[in-house]
Amino acid sequence: MHDLIIIGAGPAGITASVYAVRKGMNILVITKDIGGQAAWSGDIENYTGYQFITGPELAGKFEEHMRKYNIALNENEAVKEIKKSDNTISVTTDKGTYTAKTVIIASGKRTKELNVPGEKEFKNKGLTFCATCDAPLFAGKTVAVIGGGNSALDAALQLINIAKKVFVINITAGLGGDAVMRQKVEESKIVTVLNNAQVTAILGDKFVNGIKIKRENKEEVLSVQGIFVEIGLMPNSEFVKEVEKNQYGEIKVNFRNETNIPAIFAAGDVTDVPEKQIIIAAGEGSKAALSAFRYLAQRRI
């Protein structure tokens, strides 16, 4: 029986683990991977203490900090269900079942898919969901970034220094995201932004060789060798049924990171807290850990 099980090891989960173990709590971290969305990011210039750091580097710093405390960590493990009975919470994964007095859900978000013909067939064959991971594979090639928000802009900025040409395919009338990032993308000589454009199919043979889009009621095919899908994120919250969620599937929390079920807390991008930023997720993780500690201290469970 653990005092606390933390689900996820992104900025929220890792920070929660550090705060919890420093409070003397017996904890277990269960996660598919380490670093979360921070590891997908390109250049980060707004995380306090680092004027400039890449996403993988920052994720590495987080992991290094967590491992310093020899925290029990189950990697490559997917949570399937959470159930509460009296003062015990059971967490069932694809590898076993664990029990705890409290739980923090910090499972983050995952990328949305296009759901168009060719997407599944060419996944990892020229079509990718992670520019930070795969951009170097497309050096000197023509690529397309699908999306118009910060994640799409970040991908385009990474590709500007690698690819021969970059199409940004945006379904709305204009790019969103941060003004600074937007300006850099729009000013690049190798970037062509196509607004009001909808992807209708991914084309290829053994690998991607084109993308079909619809723009101004006309279909056209762009010749590309790589496609980066950056159309938004979905919360990883399906495995917990009883907690209250909003219309987007995000877990509702109060200012103490409490859900509607006592002893179950949530933190980071999986919650309905506004502004999905690394520094906010880390702060929410620390709050959730302190709230879990306070919950146990007040009840002497």
Higher pLDDT, 217 or 41: 217
Predicted confidence (pLDDT) per residue in 221-245, tens digit:
999 999 999 998 899 999 999 999 9
Residues 189 and 49 in one domain: no
Binning pLDDT at 50, 70 and 90, where does residue 301 land? low
Active site residue 133: yes
Catalytic option among 3, 86, 94, 130: 130
Residue 294 to residue 282: CA distance in whole angstroms = 19
Residues 219 and 179 in one domain: yes
Residues 96 and 12 in one domain: yes
Amino acid present at 271: T
The Cα-based distances of 287 to 12, 16, 19, 60, 265 in angstroms read 9, 8, 9, 22, 10
Give yes or no for a contact between 221 and 210, defined as CB atoms under 8 angstroms apart: yes
Catalytic option among 3, 86, 94, 133: 133
Q: Which of 201, 229, 257 is the last residue of a domain?
A: 229
Among candidate residues 189, 252, 199, the one with its CA nearest the CA of residue 228: 199
Residue for token pair 């168009």: 116
Q: Which of 199, 229, 259 is the last residue of a domain?
A: 229
Please say whether the dihedral angle defined by the alpha carbons of residues 139, 142, 147 and 148, taken in this order, is positive or negative: positive
Predicted confidence (pLDDT) per residue in 27-84, tens digit:
999 999 999 888 877 778 889 999 899 888 999 999 999 999 999 999 999 999 999 9
Q: Where are the alpha helices (DSSP H) in the chain?
A: 11-22, 55-67, 131-134, 150-160, 179-187, 278-299
Lowest mean pLDDT among 85-99, 119-133, 156-170, 198-212: 119-133
Residues 28 and 64 in one domain: yes
Residues 196 and 215 in one domain: yes
Range of the domain at 50: 2-110+233-299
Active site residue 178: no
Residues 18 and 39 in one domain: yes
Residues 164 and 262 in one domain: no
Catalytic option among 86, 134, 269, 272: 134
Residues 8 and 84 in one domain: yes
Active site residue 205: no
The pLDDT of residue 124 is 85
The pLDDT of residue 182 is 95
Does this model's pTM top 0.85? My answer is: no
CATH of the domain at 277: 3.50.50.60
Predicted confidence (pLDDT) per residue in 156-192, tens digit:
999 999 999 999 999 999 999 999 999 999 999 999 9
The encoded tokens of residue 212 equal 């079909």
Number of domains in the chain: 2
Residues 78 and 153 in one domain: no
Residues 218 and 146 in one domain: yes
Residues 215 and 287 in one domain: no
Q: Which of 229, 264, 279 is the last residue of a domain?
A: 229
Residues 127 and 201 in one domain: yes
Binning pLDDT at 50, 70 and 90, where does residue 296 land? very high
